[in-house]
Structure 1
Amino acid sequence: MTLIDPSDTPERQTAKLLRIAESLMRRVEQSPDHSNLAYAQFERAARLEGEVRQRTADLERTLDLLHESNARLAESIEEAQAAQSNLAEAIETVEEGFALFDADDRLVLNNSRFCTDLGDVAGRLRPGLLFADYVDLVSRSQSLELPDGQTRNEWRARRLLRHADSHTTFNVRLSLDRWIQVSEHRTTSGGTVILQTDVTRVIRSERRERDRLIDRRARIERATLDHLAQGVCTFDRDGKLVGWNAQMEAILARPLGARQIGSRFDQLLDRLADMFTFTGHMDRTGLKAWAARRGHRRDLQFEVLQGAETGTHRIYTVSAQQMPDGGFVISFTDVTSERDSARALRDLNETLERRVAARTDELGAALDEARRANASKTRFMAAASHDLLQPLSAAKLFVSAIEDRTEEAEIGEVAGKAIAALASVETFIEALLDISKLDSGRVELSVEDTPLSAILGSLALEMTPLAATKGITLTFVPTTLSVCSDPVLLRRMIQNLVANAIRHTDGDRVLVGVRREDGQARIEVVDKGPGIPAEHQKDIFREFHQLVPHRSGAGGLGLGLAIVERAADSLGHGLMLRSELGRGSRFGVTVPIVSGPGPAATPNSDAATHASRPALSGLVVFLVENDAEVARGITLMVEGWGADLIHAPDAEAGLQLLEDLGIAPDVFLVDYQLGDGMDGLEMIDHLRAQFGPVAARLISADRSSALQRACEAAQVRLIQKPLSAEEVAAFLSTVVGSPVPGAAAS
């Protein structure tokens, strides 16, 4: 319970407390009892008085703050009213019409110039008006001039679509040829500001300037048309004549006065019908229909003839094209002289064609004759090389047998020189055969993944002894790369480059290696020869061309580098030559790399020399050869090494002989071409079926890629004729050294 009611006002509470204090003071003063109770009441009264005083001070401070806040609020209201008044005055001073809509698309304020040109709209603008209602008022205004083909509803829909943009500007046409530009901007708070600017004067000025430009352009076009060699006339979208040039009047031989302007195209065409004759696919009816068509017209071009009846004809090319405004233009180009010239040229051309045809027949006959001669030459070279290689092989074998059997040094030396001479003949024949195939374009290419180690390894065995005879160290750098090429043709190219380097170098070393460059492998042959002058570096690739034929007794036909160049062209390989006088030469063949590293071959130049005189005592060799001389040479050579040789002239006789003998020979040498019946590959296949894996080699003078592929498919190795005693000896030596006869050939 409290002495005062908290719901009373501070003044009432204060008054109550004062009355309570006075009452207590009176009671204290009047009471005769001065006991502790009276004193306690006095203290309570004193405390109450202190609280009243504190409450009174708080109330006074609160009232002061209230008065101060009211004063500030009044100042703010005055400032806001002043700012609104200033804003209204500022908006009113703007020359353009101004209106502000809030974020809810309701009109906040506008100046007196807003919609002043739309009298039936300005009087209905009120704060709070929705933007859509404002657009509806404008669309129904009598002062609004709608664009051609647009209704008021369509205009209203387009205007509301523009309102969705954050910024848009467009022109509105009003009655009496007035224009206003409307600019609409979105505020940061989401409201919209619209400015209306009267641009009537600007648009009228631009229109006058445009009319002046159009008039000037028309005069320029008229002057230009009058200077054209073609006759030109133009028609509007309704097919009425609107202009022409002087050349058109000259073609018609009559002036086209001002009275002709507005004449319809079909009427003019009927009037001029007797002057022109249509000569092509187009006629008068079709041209009328084209001119009367609405919408897009395709361009026309045709020819008409003028003055055909009088004999003074003129030919015109007529072009009809549609203009952007829907009208069309027709031009007449005099092509009489061109047609007369074309006719004369056509007559001359026919005469020339008859002469060319006759000459072509003659050249065709000569070309056929040349082709037949070239084919005959190619067949002759192939047959001659085969026929020459057969006796050459026999001669080499006979001389090898003499060299092996003789004990006289002088005869052995002569035999060695004879073998060298026969080897040179073999090289010449092979070069002639290669160049003939490459020139005829009938080289059979077999492009495949080819390990360079196999090619370089076999060339090291073959070429190292030749280099050693001249005191030259031939070095092959091992490689693990595989390339995409024809292995036979690529080997031939590298062989020719190495042989050329050995033949012409002055130094004591020839280096063969491979460089990797941008996904390509460049096989290089480097020598320390005299070098090749720059002016002769192209000549050395010509056939039968040698810069110094007598050098070091080199000999040769000058075909080696010619074969290299033609083979590189056939395979699409790059060919490189770098040479400096006195510092040697560097030849290179660039071949694409197709696979990663493979097994590297380490050339062994001593293998062939070690096998040159093998000890083959007890070895049984079965030879199938239809050339008696070659067979006799092989027999003398093999038996000179201590082996026993059994000879059969063909496959059937050989199989019959094996059946009669009832033995399995240690090794087979089988010629490929055995006449009629079974060939060498078929016989080896038959032998494998009968005896299992046998040591066998196919021998042949056929150097075609087809035979190479057939041997690879059959897994049979080929020894080419003329037979090399070293190659045969190496093969037979592997059979003798093998614990299982025949395993080396499988």
Structure 2
Amino acid sequence: MTQTPRASSLLNAADPLERQRDKLLAIAEVLMRRAEQETDNSGEAYAQFQRAAMLEDQVRARTRDLERALDLLHQSNAQLATANRETEAARQNLADAIETVQEGFALFGPDDVLVMCNSRFCQQMIDLRDHLKPGLSFDTYIDRVSRSSYLALPPGETPESWAVRRRKRHQDRHVIFNVQLIWDRWLQVSEHRTATGGTVILQTDVTDLIRLEREARGRMLDDQARIIRATLDHISQGVCIFDAEARLVGWNQRLGDLLAIPVTRFRMGVSFAALMERMESEIGFGEGMTAQRLAEWTGARGRAPISFEVTRGPLILQADAQEMPDGGFVVSFTDITAERAAQAALAAVNETLEARVMERTLELADALADAERANASRARFVAAASHDLLQPLSAAKLFIGSITAEGLDPFAQEALTKAQNALGQVEGILGALLDISRLESGRLAVNPGPVQLNRVLGPLREEFAALAAAKGLRLTVLPCSAVVISDPAYLRRILQNLIGNAVRYTRTGRVLVGARRQGGGIRLEVRDTGPGIAEEDQDAIFREFHRLNAPASASEGMGLGLAIVERACAALGHPLGLQSDPGRGSCFMVQLAQADPSASLPSPPAAQPPQPAVQGTLIAFLVENDPDLRRAMGLLLEKWGLTVLDAGSAEEALELIEEIGILPDVFLVDQQLGDGMAGLDFIRQIRSDYVGTIPAALITADRDPALALACDTLAIPQFLKPIDPAALEAWIVSATAPPPET
């Protein structure tokens, strides 16, 4: 069966829609006619009819699609025509707007090709007008401008170099510069980059502005010249101005007055050398300057400013010469005659003052030396007096200690107790005097280290509890486990004096001692409800022997406690503070640095078991040059059951030991034994002459830290005068005790 060709192959897509429709209608008509002619019995005609109907439907659908496409095409053509008209209108409007701009305007595209420009662009360069058309490249534009006959090139510049410099400026996004044209005309050229990479060039005629500016500058220069002229005529200095050729171009009236030269002799254009020849016989140069050196300076270039003095008769002139930017120079002359006379007078006065100052300095040095000698003498006197007093005081304590209270009547026992108390008070006063002496002489040796406050506060609580209770006061010492950096001995002395003062001067109420953390440190506070201290007296209480009106008696102190506190705090670096309200009480504060928690603390002293009395027959050798003290200590030692040998000097002791041929069981040696061997040297000699270490103790009133250190090095116990009998007895018992049985 022959297949019917497809309708789509009979159509040409390039044909108009009307043509394609006509073809489809003709094809449909032929097919229908053919279908009618087919009348075979197999039903082929009916099938052909159905296919023709379907084909007709497809032709109609395609026709409708073609009609809609044709409508859309008509609409698109209409919109395109409208857009073209609007674009042309916008372009014409832009051209009209650019044409109305007063400046020359040109737009180059991102490819540096001219897009459009107005008629004012390069209108001053007539020879460029025929070439300013769209499509002109920027490089060609620059080349034609550089060769324009209307362009005034700067001196020494060629069209090629000008074009190269102009292209370099074109590389910047924004450029503004002036271009000079012939006939003294000027254009200001401004280049700006657009967002798309194009370039907009604006040209503004600034000829009138530059001419006005030039005229204004000329008037300003004229005004400045008049001002300078008036200034030169009214200043006190003489001024002369020379150009780069060292020719005179300006001067003032004062110059002729100072140099005694008539103004008529100054002429415009006269050389500096000619002026110097005329003035050479009338002026002289000061030190460091000559006419030859000055001439060399004027003939050089790049001159550094110079100053020199010129003399003319009695006048002394200060000359200052300095180069100007144009290569010329200016010289000014100032009359310094009165100044030099004043300097001479001042020098004479200075010499007189220096002599007086030297004289007064020598007097002050002598006074200072006298004061230092007096202070040293006072310190030595206090130390010596304290030492001399400690000798009989120690003897008195030992004499009283040798008296047995048992068997005495009550009156004698009371008198003995009072005598012991009185000696204790005297001992405290002497100890304070020695402390003050060491503090003032700078011989105070402190050993700061970790100190646990509870180990200092606990014993003080026990020490002052009975005294506070006797006065009816409530003493509260708060425990504190903090560890601080201080010297334990002097920290205890500081708190002891502060608590003692608080208890002594407080009538009723309480005394509170505690510590609080503040600013990374520990602040110790001693508060009381005493009479308080007025602000004007708060500085005075720290002076020696100063006591405010208080109920304490002279036997309770001499006003040295706070002086010791202040000096000890200064030596230890502990800030000391005071807050007081008269009638309500006082608070003394000591600021301490907190120790590192990992710092090791010294072990607390182990509790000593009670020592038995001296047992057996022991020989004690006493070396003491003071007869009374030697006698008193001998009685005390005999009371303890010791056999006593004594000597007044180290040499006598050595002779006695050699004579009897017996070594004692214990030595008690005074440090200061007169003019002979010292006590410490005697002990060294004994230990050197005899095998073994014989127990020996040093007795002294010298509180020098160096002596204490030497005793510690040799393991020699030191007992300070006045001697504590209980401590001495305890040491003798321990030193002479037999070794434990193994």
Considering the TM-score relative to the shorter chain, is it more than 0.5?
yes
Q: In the TM superposition, what is the alpha-carbon distance from 1:251 to its structure 2 partner?
A: 0.7
Q: In the TM superposition, what is the alpha-carbon distance from 1:531 to its structure 2 partner?
A: 1.6
The 2-side partners of 1:22 and 1:555 are apart by 152
2:39 matched to 1:44?
Answer: no
Match 1:248 to one of 248, 252, 255: 255
Change in Cα spacing, 1:572 to 1:601, as seen in structure 2 (3 Å) is: closer
Match 2:213 to one of 202, 206, 222: 206
* Partner residue, 2:703: 703
Q: In the TM superposition, what is the alpha-carbon distance from 1:285 to its structure 2 partner?
A: 2.6
Match 1:302 to one of 287, 304, 308: 308
The 2-side partners of 1:412 and 1:724 are apart by 20
Tell me if the contact between 1:623 and 1:670 (Cα under 8 Å) persists in the aligned partners.
Answer: no
Per the alignment, in what secondary structure is the counterpart of residue 194 of structure 1? strand
* Partner residue, 2:722: 722
2:267 matched to 1:260?
Answer: yes
Match 1:3 to one of 6, 9, 27: 6
The 2-side partners of 1:447 and 1:7 are apart by 125
Change in Cα spacing, 1:240 to 1:481, as seen in structure 2 (3 Å) is: farther
**Residues 156-214 of structure 1, C-alpha deviation per residue, up to 9 Å, x if partnerless?**
66655554544343444444443333333332223332222222322332333333333
Change in Cα spacing, 1:31 to 1:517, as seen in structure 2 (3 Å) is: closer
Change in Cα spacing, 1:147 to 1:62, as seen in structure 2 (3 Å) is: same
Between 1:131-140 and 1:240-249, the stretch displaced more is 131-140
2:74 matched to 1:67?
Answer: yes
The 1-side partners of 2:260 and 2:295 are apart by 23
Per the alignment, in what secondary structure is the counterpart of residue 89 of structure 1? helix
Q: In the TM superposition, what is the alpha-carbon distance from 1:569 to its structure 2 partner?
A: 4.9
2:534 matched to 1:533?
Answer: yes
Q: How does 1:533-682 map to 2 (within 5 A)?
A: 533-548=534-549, 551-553=552-554, 555-569=556-570, 573-593=574-594, 595-596=596-597, 616=613, 618=615, 626-627=623-624, 676=677, 679=680
Q: How does 1:675-690 map to 2 (within 5 A)?
A: 676=677, 679=680
Change in Cα spacing, 1:473 to 1:225, as seen in structure 2 (3 Å) is: farther
The 2-side partners of 1:163 and 1:686 are apart by 106
Match 1:289 to one of 296, 318, 333: 296
The 2-side partners of 1:620 and 1:50 are apart by 156
Tell me if the contact between 1:171 and 1:181 (Cα under 8 Å) persists in the aligned partners.
Answer: yes
% identical equivalent positions: 48
Tell me if the contact between 1:315 and 1:334 (Cα under 8 Å) persists in the aligned partners.
Answer: yes
Amino acid at match of 2:540: D
Q: How does 1:16-415 map to 2 (within 5 A)?
A: 17-30=24-37, 33=40, 36-119=43-126, 124-131=131-138, 134-135=141-142, 138=145, 159-160=166-167, 162-256=169-263, 260-295=267-302, 297-307=303-313, 313-323=314-324, 327-402=328-403, 407-415=408-416
The 2-side partners of 1:149 and 1:447 are apart by 88
Per the alignment, in what secondary structure is the counterpart of residue 66 of structure 2? helix
**Residues 258-306 of structure 1, C-alpha deviation per residue, up to 9 Å, x if partnerless?**
96334444443343223321112222233333333323x4332222211
The 1-side partners of 2:158 and 2:404 are apart by 118
* Partner residue, 2:432: 431
Per the alignment, in what secondary structure is the counterpart of residue 723 of structure 1? coil
Tell me if the contact between 2:614 and 2:640 (Cα under 8 Å) persists in the aligned partners.
Answer: yes
The 1-side partners of 2:173 and 2:116 are apart by 20
The 2-side partners of 1:292 and 1:153 are apart by 40
Tell me if the contact between 1:105 and 1:192 (Cα under 8 Å) persists in the aligned partners.
Answer: yes
**Residues 569-598 of structure 1, C-alpha deviation per residue, up to 9 Å, x if partnerless?**
555543322222221222223344453497
Tell me if the contact between 1:92 and 1:111 (Cα under 8 Å) persists in the aligned partners.
Answer: yes
Q: In the TM superposition, what is the alpha-carbon distance from 1:75 to its structure 2 partner?
A: 1.8
Change in Cα spacing, 1:549 to 1:55, as seen in structure 2 (3 Å) is: closer
Point out which structure has higher relative CO (alpha carbons under 8 A, 6+ apart).
Answer: 1
The 2-side partners of 1:680 and 1:464 are apart by 44
Amino acid at match of 2:96: E
The 2-side partners of 1:298 and 1:438 are apart by 64
The 1-side partners of 2:543 and 2:535 are apart by 15
**Residues 597-634 of structure 1, C-alpha deviation per residue, up to 9 Å, x if partnerless?**
97999999xx99x99x9754549999786436656656
Task: Calculate the TM-score normalised by the size of structure 1.
Answer: 0.80
* Partner residue, 2:500: 499
Change in Cα spacing, 1:62 to 1:508, as seen in structure 2 (3 Å) is: closer
Change in Cα spacing, 1:142 to 1:376, as seen in structure 2 (3 Å) is: farther
Gaps of 5+ in 2: none
Change in Cα spacing, 1:100 to 1:374, as seen in structure 2 (3 Å) is: same
* Partner residue, 1:310: none
Change in Cα spacing, 1:20 to 1:155, as seen in structure 2 (3 Å) is: closer
Task: Calculate the TM-score normalised by the size of structure 2.
Answer: 0.80
**Residues 455-507 of structure 1, C-alpha deviation per residue, up to 9 Å, x if partnerless?**
54565565556656655554433334455556665554444333332332223
The 1-side partners of 2:698 and 2:473 are apart by 33
The 2-side partners of 1:119 and 1:277 are apart by 69
Tell me if the contact between 2:502 and 2:527 (Cα under 8 Å) persists in the aligned partners.
Answer: yes
The 1-side partners of 2:480 and 2:692 are apart by 39
Change in Cα spacing, 1:136 to 1:435, as seen in structure 2 (3 Å) is: farther
Change in Cα spacing, 1:721 to 1:96, as seen in structure 2 (3 Å) is: farther
